């Protein structure tokens, strides 16, 4: 390998959970190292307005919020790095994780906060209408549908068509 490093605390992922872990680990003087992963800031960076997070009474843009989380984590000493963890060996301590650049990192503690990714139905116009009434967030869809009751019928119809194409398995007990 190109290089081997050691850290007491390695955090994988840079969404709200990753940055929060970095803030608390930094405050505990653990000198955390955080690898951002494939999407720096996580899924919230794709959100235009977050209205339900404490501390933002007027709402906040997802990118702005994640920039502020990042600044706060850095303020408490987190070493924030671009890159992806591609391999992990948890068979013995210290754990050994490898980055996409071939760097091996020995860590006493690993916090995995890789988050989630949106799951769409695969309908042809989902991407085209994303943010214009199509969303992977149930809360967003609920508020949109409440304002446009007719959309409920459209969504139900599309979902029914999609579900009708899925194979059905019948399990029989013997």
Closest by Cα among 100, 105, 115, 114 to 32:
105
> Rounded to whole angstroms, how far apart are CA atoms 74 and 64?
15
Q: What is the predicted pLDDT for the residue at 118?
A: 72
Per-residue pLDDT of the chain (174 residues; tens, 9 = 90+): 458 999 999 999 999 999 999 999 999 999 999 999 988 888 888 778 888 889 999 999 999 999 999 999 999 999 999 999 999 999 999 999 999 999 999 999 999 999 877 777 777 787 777 767 676 666 555 665 565 555 556 666 667 666 655 554 444 444
Q: What is the predicted pLDDT for the residue at 88?
A: 96
Model confidence pTM above 0.85: no
Q: What is the predicted pLDDT for the residue at 124?
A: 79
> Rounded to whole angstroms, how far apart are CA atoms 69 and 110?
20
- Structural domains in the chain, CATH included, are 3-112 (3.50.50.60), 118-165 (no CATH)
Q: What is the predicted pLDDT for the residue at 155?
A: 64
Q: What is the predicted pLDDT for the residue at 14?
A: 93
Q: What is the predicted pLDDT for the residue at 110?
A: 96
Strands annotated E in the chain:
3-12, 33-35, 79-81, 85-89, 95-99, 103-112
Q: What is the predicted pLDDT for the residue at 1?
A: 47
Q: Which residues contact 86 (CB under 8 A, 6 or more apart)?
A: 98, 99, 100
Q: Which residues contact 162 (CB under 8 A, 6 or more apart)?
A: 121, 122, 123
Q: What is the chain's Cα-based Rg?
A: 21
């Amino acid at each position: 390998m190109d290089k081997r490093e050691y850290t007491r605390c390695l955090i994988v992922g840079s969404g709200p959970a990753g940055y929060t872990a970095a803030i608390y680990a930094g405050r505990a003087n653990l000198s955390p190292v955080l690898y951002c992963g494939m999407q720096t800031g996580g899924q919230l960076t794709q959100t235009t307005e977050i209205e339900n997070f404490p501390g933002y009474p007027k709402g906040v843009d997802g990118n702005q919020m994640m920039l502020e989380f990042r600044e706060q984590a850095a303020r408490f000493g987190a070493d924030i790095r671009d890159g992806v963890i591609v391999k992990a060996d948890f068979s013995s301590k210290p754990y050994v994780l490898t980055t996409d650049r071939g760097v091996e990192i020995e860590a006493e503690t690993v916090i995995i906060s890789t988050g989630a990714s949106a799951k769409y139905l695969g309908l042809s116009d989902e991407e085209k209408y994303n943010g214009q009434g199509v969303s992977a967030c149930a809360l967003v869809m609920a508020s949109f549908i409440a304002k446009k009751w007719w959309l409920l019928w459209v969504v139900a119809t599309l979902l029914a068509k999609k579900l009708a194409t899925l194979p059905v398995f019948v399990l029989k007990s013997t």
